[in-house]
Amino acid sequence: MADFAYTAKSLNGEKRSGSLVADSKADAMQKLRAQSLYPISVTGKQTAKPRVSFVLPKRIKKEQVADLCSQLSDLLSNGVPMLESIQILAEATENPRLKESVLRIHEAVSQGDTLDVAMSKETGVFSELTLSMIRAGQEGAFLEEALQRTSHFLRKQDEMRSKIVGALTYPAILGFVGTAIVSLMVVFLVPKFQPLFDRLEQTGSALPTVTVILLGASQVMSAYGVMVLAAFAAVAYGVFRWTNTTAGRRFTDQLKLRLPLLGSIFHDSAVSRTCRVLGTMLHNGVPLLRALKISSESTGNVLLADAILRSAENVTSGDSLSKPLLASGLIPAQVMAMIRVAEESNTLDDVLIKISDRIDLRIERKLDVLVRMIEPMMLVLIGCMVMFVIVGVLMPVLDLNSSVG
């Protein structure tokens, strides 16, 4: 139990302040409503000096936001009032950060804000896509359906991201462990043979080129290993900062599309996301120009985003959507043909979602093939690095044995 200070309004509009004891802030608000008081603010009293805590805030996952949208849709569809639905979700939410966000949304809605306005105040929790679809659902009186479709889209997005991360996790671990093992061999194993190599050079025997390279790498890593790592970290940080600039992001997006094996996956992923966002928003009544602007922000690729914005300008001037997309060369001809037909038949929203589903299936197949290729390639690469170290160490020994024989 804790003490809470509150400010509330009575049924006749009189403002009241005071304190009460409750298990939680939600419980305190419930007690105020039971007394026919309209909560304006409820804050916990600090009875003791709080201890310093270094616990990092929990990240809000897209899956949790999707669950929130789906559950809110279910509650509203079953006739539960908006404020009560949000309160129920706040009490059922396990993520502390999301729980606080939902409580603030409840307070904002209770004070007269619409749901989308209340959600927009929670920076970094709800995407522009989610807010736009909820806004369209409220304006068109299909909020429950908009919430369900938003939930479905967020789940698809999270599922695709999970598949990509899962597919690349094992090769990444394999590469990291293999590189660490080879580095340890170069730093600690190779110097053990330095006296032998010195005696060979004193006898006039030239060391093999592989051994010379290996010794040089070992000496550099032993003497300047920390500096090399620091320089690498500095360069990586500089590149990361640069890629967040407009020019850097454009360059990296161009590079990603040209990468062997991965380029087609990045391309298909951007096209799929664009089609799904645009189709979902059009299906939920978002105006085409607004939907194009939001979908351009959700592509994950600057080049495709520019093409979509040019399409919006084209639509504004009364022309078709497909011409600038076709001119960009980023949308496959097969997809463009389906978009042109859908524009003429007024079924663009359904066709775009179907296109996205097909592309997602193709991405899954490509990822499966890529993982099957990367794993043996990583094993071969690590084997080559280990073999390089072993050959560099053993070749002088074999030369010494042959000369003695």
Co-location of 193 and 98 in the same domain: no
Co-location of 258 and 375 in the same domain: yes
Query: Residue 284 pLDDT more than 90?
Result: no
Helices assigned H by DSSP within 93-208:
96-110, 115-120, 128-139, 143-184, 194-202
Co-location of 310 and 206 in the same domain: yes
The lowest-confidence range among 52-66, 172-186, 242-256, 339-353 is: 52-66
**Higher local confidence (pLDDT), 333 or 380:** 380
Of the segments 18-22, 86-90, 333-337, which one has the largest average pLDDT value?
A: 86-90
CA-CA-CA-CA dihedral for 66, 69, 70, 75, to nearest 10: 160
Is residue 248 included in any domain, yes or no? yes
Question: Which tokens sit at 37?
Answer: 């008081």
Is residue 49 included in any domain, yes or no? no
Is residue 143 included in any domain, yes or no? no
Co-location of 251 and 368 in the same domain: yes
> 138: alpha, beta or left, given left = phi > 0 and alpha = psi -120 to 50?
alpha
DSSP states along 22-62:
ESSHHHHHHHHHHTT-EEEEEEE---SPPPP--PPPPPPPH
Report how far residue 197's alpha carbon sits from residue 216's, in angstroms, rounded to the nearest whole number.
Answer: 13
Question: Which tokens sit at 153?
Answer: 């889209």
Tokens 């949304």 found at: 105
Co-location of 19 and 84 in the same domain: no
Question: Quick one: pLDDT at residue 235?
Answer: 93
Domain that holds residue 164: 155-405
Is residue 141 included in any domain, yes or no? no
Report how far residue 113's alpha carbon sits from residue 287's, in angstroms, rounded to the nearest whole number.
Answer: 23
Question: Residue 86 forms beta bridges with which residues?
Answer: none
Report how far residue 105's alpha carbon sits from residue 84's, in angstroms, rounded to the nearest whole number.
Answer: 12
Report how far residue 277's alpha carbon sits from residue 289's, in angstroms, rounded to the nearest whole number.
Answer: 13
The lowest-confidence range among 34-38, 80-84, 230-234, 303-307 is: 34-38
Question: Quick one: pLDDT at residue 234?
Answer: 93
Co-location of 96 and 197 in the same domain: no
Is residue 208 included in any domain, yes or no? yes
The model's pTM: 0.62
Q: What is the total count of domains within the chain? A: 3
pLDDT, tens digit, 9 for 90 and up, residues 286-334 = 777 877 877 777 777 788 888 888 877 777 776 666 676 777 677 777 7
Is residue 55 included in any domain, yes or no? no
> 332: alpha, beta or left, given left = phi > 0 and alpha = psi -120 to 50?
beta
Report how far residue 367's alpha carbon sits from residue 269's, in angstroms, rounded to the nearest whole number.
Answer: 11
Average pLDDT along the chain: 80
Is residue 187 included in any domain, yes or no? yes
Question: Quick one: pLDDT at residue 254?
Answer: 86
Q: What is the CATH number of the domain that holds 272?
A: 1.20.81.30
Query: Residue 195 pLDDT more than 90?
Result: no
pLDDT, tens digit, 9 for 90 and up, residues 333-360 = 777 788 777 777 778 788 888 888 888 8
Co-location of 77 and 160 in the same domain: no
Co-location of 230 and 307 in the same domain: yes
Query: Residue 14 pLDDT more than 70?
Result: yes
Query: Residue 285 pLDDT more than 50?
Result: yes
Question: Quick one: pLDDT at residue 194?
Answer: 82
Co-location of 194 and 302 in the same domain: yes
117 burial (CB, 10 Å; 0-12 / 13-18 / 19+) is middle
Co-location of 92 and 164 in the same domain: no
Question: Quick one: pLDDT at residue 400?
Answer: 65
Co-location of 94 and 35 in the same domain: no
Is residue 256 included in any domain, yes or no? yes
Co-location of 78 and 194 in the same domain: no
Report how far residue 145's alpha carbon sits from residue 161's, in angstroms, rounded to the nearest whole number.
Answer: 24
> How many distinct helices (H) and strands (E) make up the chain?
16, 3
Query: Residue 161 pLDDT more than 80?
Result: no
| Secondary structure, 3-state, 85-125 | HHHHHHHHCCCHHHHHHHHHHHHHHHCCCCHHHHHHCCCCC
Report how far residue 186's alpha carbon sits from residue 224's, in angstroms, rounded to the nearest whole number.
Answer: 13
